[in-house]
Structure 1
Amino acid sequence: MTHNPVEKTPVTLLGLGGMGTALARAWLAAGHPLTVWNRTPARAAALAAEGAHVAHSAAEAVAANTLVVVCLLDDASVGEVLTGTDLADRDVVNLTTGTPAQARARAAWALDRGARYLDGGIMAVPGMIGVPEAGGYVFYSGSPELFERHRTTLGVPAGTTYVGEDAGFAALHDVALLSAMYGMFAGAAHAFALVRREDIDPVAFAPLLADWLVAMAPAVHQTADHLRTGDYTTDVASPLAMQVAGTPTFLSTAAEQGVSPELLSPYFALMRRRLAEGGGDEDLTGVVDLLVR
């Protein structure tokens, strides 16, 4: 009886920075034939030793396989590298970090050249790629048919989450989540600054801070429900009026501790604006509406 192993989809990968190299190694480890190209050829040497075929040009790499994955510095780099290649009948998956508008424009650009297009937003660092238990994943948006065709192959380096046919949605989800991350980092920085000059061990303080942030995280579900219904007063435990009344304590404490309030002040200003508009019985959801005006 002859054993016929499942044939793995060949992949072309353009870009071998830290993330690109991690992606390449994941596909190679899974047995996918891989063609790579990088602007600096030396970066491909180690992958060649691991079984990758190294193309001498981006055009050669694109011609090698139907599935072409792009992981470059920015959207301008994508245009520079792909210009002059034959994209007709190619499945282009762009994992380069960019804006939603850039993704939509790049999708139209690819379509004009006869390609099918998916955009991706990587929610992982290179060390998480190829390590399922690390929890990394990639947002994908664009052609649903294209996503289904390559779902298995794209799922090799990291998990896959499809967020819609609009090519800009992957980038939008990526930046939205990362923006929330930086907001969290800002709050954590302020918290550490408050205790920095005291006889408080930051290592002992860290678990308290982490547990508190985890406990507060579910509040996003109430915000989402309020945004969907338009009623910002349902099940409110801490009304905006009460929270605004407490903000001077935070600012005074910062002053006492010699800590700049610059990370908190903009948010407190938005809270006061919403209160002035009559949102005293709401929670903090109304701040969202102030930001999108």
Structure 2
Amino acid sequence: MTDDAKTPVSIIGLGLMGTALARAFLTAGHPTTVWNRTAAKADALVADGARLAPTIGDALGSGGVTILCLTDYPAVRELLGGAELAGTTLLNLTSGDSAQARETATWAEKQGARYLDGAIMAVPSAIGTDEAVILLSGPRPDFEIGALGTISHLGEDPGLASLYDVAGLAMMWSILNAWLQGTAMLKTAGIDAATYAPFAQQIAVGVAGWLPGYAEQVDAGAFPAEVSALETDARAMAHLVEESEALGVNAELPKLLKAMADRAIAAGHGGEQYPVLIEEFSRPGQ
């Protein structure tokens, strides 16, 4: 569908994110229907041109695509459990895990709905800009929702959007935690976070540049030490642990990293490159 043929949309759930979704569609000129348990939350959107659906069934029957943005997957099933779903197109942007996404897809399809799952990689204020990334998985969409941001269809498996979502969170928290570790250490020398941040950002960008090459090693299952061997990295990890402890800074994070490296070295991987730790990350915790 082209931008000239605006997809009618219904938004079910008007929390901060649901409201931002509805606002982006209204701004882009999409016929927009909204529904929320507390109808008053729709007042500002209705004043700007949205139509308030009196019932869930009315929202589902308004044509186009129905977008769900609720608290969790059980809430989705509870809310839609008694509704007529045959012939509808559902895009579920509710947060959950990949198993819930697949189960909900199977359930919705048995009711006769066309179901896509999704994940929003953005805060509400970014919705409607290119910075807002919307991940989709399931059948390839045949509707236009580019008004929300940058749309990325990941594949037919409805669980992929949730998996990418949590994988992205792992990246986010790992980067932030590493920065906080370094910040805590430098604070002991009177260096504030704002002074350290540009250097930390430079390191993060540089490391990100290694990922494509490291990905080739992971996918090939071969880890030649082209830059440094894991046993060399483990010695540097020991320095990080020792320095943290000497400064009176929490050393739990570097100790965890070193423990994983030590296990890989004990298994005979000390002469291989850092991505060999994928074998540690791919097994259940010790």
Name the TM-score, length of structure 2 as normaliser.
Answer: 0.95
1:241 to partner: Cα distance: 1.1
1:13 to partner: Cα distance: 0.7
Contact 2:14-2:35 at 8 Å conserved across structures: yes
Counterpart position of 1:183? 174
The Cα offsets for residues 170-204 of structure 1, whole Å up to 9 and x where unpaired, read as: 11111111111111111111111111232213211
Counterpart position of 2:265? 275
Note if 1:169 corresponds to 2:160: yes
Counterpart position of 1:243? 233
Counterpart position of 2:252? 262
- Name the Cα RMSD after superposition: 1.4
Separation of aligned partners in 2, 1:121 and 1:92: 14
Counterpart position of 1:130? 128
Contact 1:66-1:89 at 8 Å conserved across structures: no
Contact 1:103-1:167 at 8 Å conserved across structures: yes
Separation of aligned partners in 2, 1:68 and 1:246: 52
Separation of aligned partners in 1, 2:6 and 2:35: 20
Contact 1:141-1:169 at 8 Å conserved across structures: yes
Contact 2:238-2:258 at 8 Å conserved across structures: no
Separation of aligned partners in 2, 1:184 and 1:140: 25
Separation of aligned partners in 2, 1:245 and 1:156: 50
1:288 to partner: Cα distance: 1.4
Counterpart position of 1:120? 118
Structure 1 gaps of 5+ residues are none
3-state SS, counterpart of residue 269 of structure 2:
coil
3-state SS, counterpart of residue 277 of structure 1:
helix
Structure 2 gaps of 5+ residues are none
Separation of aligned partners in 2, 1:245 and 1:209: 21
Counterpart position of 1:59? 57
Structure 2 counterpart of 1:42, one-letter code: A
3-state SS, counterpart of residue 138 of structure 1:
strand
Separation of aligned partners in 2, 1:161 and 1:55: 29
Separation of aligned partners in 2, 1:11 and 1:212: 43
Structure 1 residues 23, 252: CA separation in 2 closer, same or farther (over 3 Å shift)? same
Structure 1 counterpart of 2:30, one-letter code: H
Counterpart position of 1:228? 219
Contact 1:59-1:84 at 8 Å conserved across structures: no
The Cα offsets for residues 108-137 of structure 1, whole Å up to 9 and x where unpaired, read as: 0100100001111111111111123xx221
Correspondences of 1:1-293 after superposition (within 5 Å): 6-132=4-130, 135-144=131-140, 147=141, 149-150=142-143, 153-233=144-224, 236-293=226-283
Fraction of identical pairs, as percent: 37
Name the TM-score, length of structure 1 as normaliser.
Answer: 0.92
Structure 2 counterpart of 1:238, one-letter code: S
Structure 1 residues 31, 245: CA separation in 2 closer, same or farther (over 3 Å shift)? same
Runs of 4 or more, structure 1, over 3 Å off, are none
Alignment length, in residue pairs?
A: 281
1:6 to partner: Cα distance: 3.6
3-state SS, counterpart of residue 263 of structure 1:
helix
3-state SS, counterpart of residue 88 of structure 1:
coil
Separation of aligned partners in 1, 2:5 and 2:220: 49
